[in-house]
Amino acid sequence: MLGELEQIVLLAVLRVGETAYGVPVHEEIVRLARRDLTLGTVYKTLSRLEEKGFVRSYEGDPTPQRGGRRTRCFAVTTAGRKSLESSLATLRRMAVGLDVGLEPT
Amino acid sequence: MSRPEPLPFRLLERFLPSSTADAVVGDLIERQLTGMRLWRETLVAIWHLRDRAPKEVELMSSFLSDLRLAARLLARAPTYTAAAVLTLGIAIGATAAIFSVANPVLIQPLPYHNADRVMVVWERDRDGSRSTVGFTTIRDYAAHSTTFESSAALGDWQPTVSEGTEPERLQGLRVSSTYFHTLGVQPMLGRDFRADEDVPGAQRVVIIAYALWQRRFGGDPSIIGKPISIGGTPMPVVGVMPKDFDDVTAPGAQIWRVLGYAVTDPYACRTCRHLRMIARLKPGVTVERAQSELTKVHKAIAAEHPEDYASPDALVAPLQREVTLQYRPALLALGTAVALMLIIAIANMTNLQLARLVRREEEFAIRTALGASAPRLARQLLTEAMLIGVLGGVAGLAVAWAAIPALVRQLPPQLPRLGAIHLDLAALGVIGAIVVVLTVVVGLAPRRGRRVSNIADGLRAGRRLTGTPHSAVRAGLVVAELAFALMLLVGAGLLARSVIRLLDVDKGFDASNLLTLEFNAVGPRYPANEDVFAYHDKVRDAVRALPGVLSVGVVNQLPLGGNLDMYGVEAQDKPESDPAKVPSGDRYVVSADYLSTMRIRIVAGRAFTPAEERDTVNRIALVSQALATRLWPGESAIGKRIRMGGPERPFRTIIGVTGNVHHAGLDATQLKQFYVPERQWFFSDDTEMLVVRTQGNPTALAGAVRRAIQQIDPAQPIVKIAAMEEVVAASTAQRRLALTLFTCFALAALLLAVAGIYGVLAGNVAERTREIGLRAALGATPGNILRLVVGQGARMAVIGLGVGLFGAFALTRSLRALLFGVGPNDPTTIVVATGVLLAAALAACLVPALRALRVDPSQAFRSD
């Protein structure tokens, strides 16, 4: 079972897709999760997910608008995807028959 | 790109692993954050992502290796290490010891419930002095005040316990039944006094201290309810106070009984000002509010009874402040002195460390060349400083541990909270704080000078021609040490002169070969005054019969003995309607031979004759010169008539005038006194002093005198046997203790400052050997070279002394309360102290100067 923050971050990485580095992942979370997280918290969660083998990271290219610094890109691994699916499935099972706004598929 | 990066980014790069830092900083730049948001992101990122484990492990292992290196360095220089640790140990230990005294006395709240609300209430006389209060006044204050939660009256009481073993005089108090409640304490065993016990004629009950309960009654809990014999009267014990209870209103008190006054009692009158009052403020009431209300209350009472109040006002003041009032100046002065000494010791340590650093420049250069970073070397220095600091702290702990009990023995026994003075956690905290400050100052001082960065320079160290790094810092430290040392020397000098002046004072009696002791006659065997007087006569006869005894006298209170028993003296020919203007005099109720035994001068008229001692009809008195002059300036007092103790007392005729005696202290300015034969006073005193003039050493006779008195009545305790010279010495104990400690601190400071000046100059000469040799080779005379070295030392000395003079003016103002016969800016003291320090400083210059003279010019060209 993943923590809530881990689920949110994993979902955000999946949503951003190929160029999932700090800024877009963070933006996605702020936009959809409506949480004022700091970048540090996002990176902290990502590194925890990486330790668990749910995401992997690679260095991206430096760009001028980042002062010539490289990005660090993240992608969800198969294990991460499975874990996420199982977490969400658990939530749905638990919500069956309850009026909590979570529809079973 | 050449623009320096904003601080948050530099912090991130400093604390985050480099790849993470790149990603985070890049993201932050991309998001174009500024201000608070940027800082928030930075701090959170550092908190979550900082490069933790490896760095800490590395720091720890480098700390341990630094520590090993520091320990090896110190072990290789045992003399230096011992001197440093000893110096720091003494300074830190002395600081902790003085702090341990000051902390419970002045700083910690008294050990009572909400002790900050407990106040002392005085009547305030026209000259601003505090006065004890009459019972009726206390009752009125309590009745009219709305700011007091409760209040109580208390009076001194020194009962004799004759239960069981040896009879014993105890320090005690007679108190209102509300006394303990007002203080905020309760008996641990039994109960508090009840209001129905605090009335005339009620059964007299007592509460005893834990120590007395343990000592005399073996800690037996069944003591509650049992009567004990107090001066022959059985009084039931109703309570035992807790072990840690310390009655600051009467330090050393071991027994309390209810006051049992009624307003109708003759000794309860408004002018019978012999009681003290304490009060507990209601929660939230400020001292100022209580004071302004009590002022109004007092003025209203005084307006109603104008003839009874000499005092225009009343005073409400916190209990803690009041009971420590007389000790505060000495403790603050000592605190300042010890702090100065500590600063000097730290400055000295810094100086020594800087001096060593100069010699180790080569080592640092090599280590830098081998790749040690500047922070790494700085950590090394900090670790060394810490090691010295901790060793000094441990030594200081040992010094404090040994010094505190010794100090406590020297402190006046009346000092409140004396029992609470010990090496406690707070003192350990102070030592710890000093060690931290020491570590930081000594460890970081080198960074203020020059960084050891230029490797080539460092490796060439020792061949430098002139100038050393840190020399300005080191000279500054020496200047500060000299300045502080001068302040301490001036302080010690002023105290020394005060004590000398004080001991030189004409006391008005001859203290040599005089034995004194306190005795009394209480209990059923002495029902009437005449029985007491008969006992006194027997005691005098028995003691006079001893070989080696010249004469014997009896008196109710001893000069310089710490009692303050005074009565207003009214002259028959000069009636005074304003009670405030009636002069008060020390009351001496004496046997006829007291004056001759004390060798108090008779300046006019004559002394009492033995026949007059028994005459209770023709009332007579002697007065001191000061009292005679106050009442009849320019006239003879002989034949005049005076009255003491109020209008209901008879007038008596003055038959003689005595020299003034210093009663309250050697520095007393109140010298008005009167003498009355004991059978002519209107009551017999509970306790009496016996004075015995001896042929030789008075203390050698103490045993014989005691035995002679005890043969008359073994149930009566004999206490305070002492030579009068000891009594005189004890009266100056506080000043002498301040003097001793101040002198120790000042001498230590002098030594350290001189060592400091020597260290700087000696180091300088050693480093400038080449320069000096070169000068000699180029024709400098020995005089030139001497001037070169001594001149440098003299400059430091003069600046230091100049600064120190200003400091001394500031310090000695705080000493004013301890001075006697000298002003705080006494020129002699300042000149002598300056001279001593200057001479010592110049002597310290001479050794290195002579060494400089012996420099062989050829050394200038030798290379090693």
Domain annotation covers residue A54:
yes
* Same-domain check for residues B339 and B238: no
Question: Which position has the token pair 């004409």?
Answer: B506
Cα separation, B668 vs B784, in Å, equals: 58
Closest CA to B393 of B428, B350, B445: B428
Domain annotation covers residue B41:
yes
Domain annotation covers residue B409:
yes
* Same-domain check for residues B346 and B486: yes
In chain B, which residue's Cα lies nearest the Cα of A27?
B31
**pLDDT on residue B341:** 92
For A51-65, letters b (16+ CB in 10 Å) and e give eeebbebeebeeeee
Whether the CA torsion B625, B630, B635, B639 is positive or negative: it is negative
Interface test mutation site (partner B, options A16, A25, A38, max chain B beta carbons within 10 A): A38
Domain annotation covers residue B678:
yes
Residues in chain A: 105
Q: Which of B684, B714, B744 is the last residue of a domain?
A: B714
Cα separation, B260 vs B833, in Å, equals: 58
CB contact under 8 A, B29 and A23: no
In which domain, by residue range, is B436 found? 328-503+733-861
Cα separation, B790 vs B767, in Å, equals: 16
Closest CA to B223 of B164, B156, B159: B164
Cα B18 to Cα A72, A75, B29, B49, B501: the distances in Å are 12, 21, 16, 11, 75
Domain annotation covers residue B102:
no
Number of domains in chain B: 4
Question: Which position has the token pair 């003097």?
Answer: B739
CB contact under 8 A, B23 and A40: no
Q: Does A85 touch chain B (CB under 8 A)?
A: no
Domain annotation covers residue A81:
yes
Q: Which of B661, B682, B714 is the last residue of a domain?
A: B714
CB contact under 8 A, A26 and B27: yes
Q: Chain A closest CA to B19's CA: distance in Å?
A: 8
Could you give the dihedral angle defined by the CA atoms of residues A45, A49, A51 and A56, in that order, rounded to the nearest 10 degrees?
A: -110
**pLDDT on residue A104:** 57
* Same-domain check for residues B773 and B682: no
pLDDT along chain B (864 residues), means of 10: 71 81 86 84 83 64 83 86 89 94 90 93 87 92 94 90 75 94 95 92 90 91 91 89 92 91 84 90 94 95 87 92 88 90 91 79 78 79 91 95 91 85 92 93 71 51 50 84 92 91 91 93 83 92 95 95 85 82 90 95 94 89 96 94 87 96 91 94 86 94 93 87 92 85 89 85 79 83 85 88 90 84 89 92 86 75 54
Interface test mutation site (partner A, options B27, B33, B40, max chain A beta carbons within 10 A): B27
Q: Chain B closest CA to A100's CA: distance in Å?
A: 34
**pLDDT on residue B598:** 96
**pLDDT on residue B544:** 95
Domain annotation covers residue A62:
yes
Chain A CB contacts of B19 below 8 Å: 59, 70, 72
Provide the greatest CA pair distance for chain A: 53
The reported pTM is: 0.73
Chain B CB contacts of A65 below 8 Å: 29-30
Please report, for the domain that includes residue A21, its CATH number: 1.10.10.10
Q: Which residues lie closer than 8 Å to B200 by C-beta, 6 or more apart? A: B260, B261, B262, B265
* Residues B427 and B99 sit within 8 Å (Cβ to Cβ): yes
Number of domains in chain A: 1
In which domain, by residue range, is A43 found? 4-95
**pLDDT on residue B241:** 96
Chain B CB contacts of A21 below 8 Å: 23, 27
Tokens of B585: 């005099």
* Same-domain check for residues B689 and B773: no
CB contact under 8 A, A71 and B26: yes
Cα separation, A77 vs A14, in Å, equals: 10
Q: Which residues lie closer than 8 Å to A51 by C-beta, 6 or more apart? A: none
Domain annotation covers residue A51:
yes
* Residue A1, Cβ density class (10 Å: 0-12 exposed, 13-18 middle, ≥19 buried): exposed
In chain A, which residue's Cα lies nearest the Cα of B16?
A40
CB contact under 8 A, B45 and A22: no
* Same-domain check for residues B440 and B488: yes
**pLDDT on residue B232:** 77
- Of B120 and A105, the structure prediction assigns the larger pLDDT to B120
* Same-domain check for residues B369 and B437: yes
Q: Which of B51, B69, B84 is the last residue of a domain?
A: B51
Chain B CB contacts of A38 below 8 Å: 40-41, 44-45
Chain B CB contacts of A29 below 8 Å: none
* Same-domain check for residues B284 and B362: no
In chain A, which residue's Cα lies nearest the Cα of B45?
A40
* Same-domain check for residues B300 and B344: no
Q: Chain A closest CA to B45's CA: distance in Å?
A: 4
Tokens of B204: 């007299």
* Residue B107, Cβ density class (10 Å: 0-12 exposed, 13-18 middle, ≥19 buried): exposed
* Same-domain check for residues B554 and B693: yes
* Same-domain check for residues B697 and B751: no
Q: Does A23 touch chain B (CB under 8 A)?
A: yes
**pLDDT on residue B455:** 52
CB contact under 8 A, A59 and B19: yes
Q: Does A6 touch chain B (CB under 8 A)?
A: no
Q: Which residues lie closer than 8 Å to B586 by C-beta, 6 or more apart? A: B557, B564, B565, B566, B661, B663, B664, B670, B672, B673, B674
Cα B413 to Cα B327, B409, B463, B692, B838: the distances in Å are 12, 8, 63, 25, 40
Domain annotation covers residue A65:
yes
Cα separation, B665 vs B626, in Å, equals: 16
Residues in chain B: 864
Chain A CB contacts of B23 below 8 Å: 21-22, 43, 69-72
CB contact under 8 A, B29 and A67: yes
Domain annotation covers residue B307:
yes
Domain annotation covers residue B473:
yes
In chain B, which residue's Cα lies nearest the Cα of A23?
B27
**pLDDT on residue B651:** 94
- Residue B257: phi, psi to the nearest 5? -135, 160
The Cα angle at residue B461 between residues B460 and B465, in degrees rounded to 5:
95
Indicate the SS3 state at residue B172.
strand
**pLDDT on residue B56:** 61
**pLDDT on residue B864:** 47
CB contact under 8 A, B26 and A66: yes
Domain annotation covers residue B509:
no
* Same-domain check for residues B644 and B755: no
* Same-domain check for residues B685 and B737: no
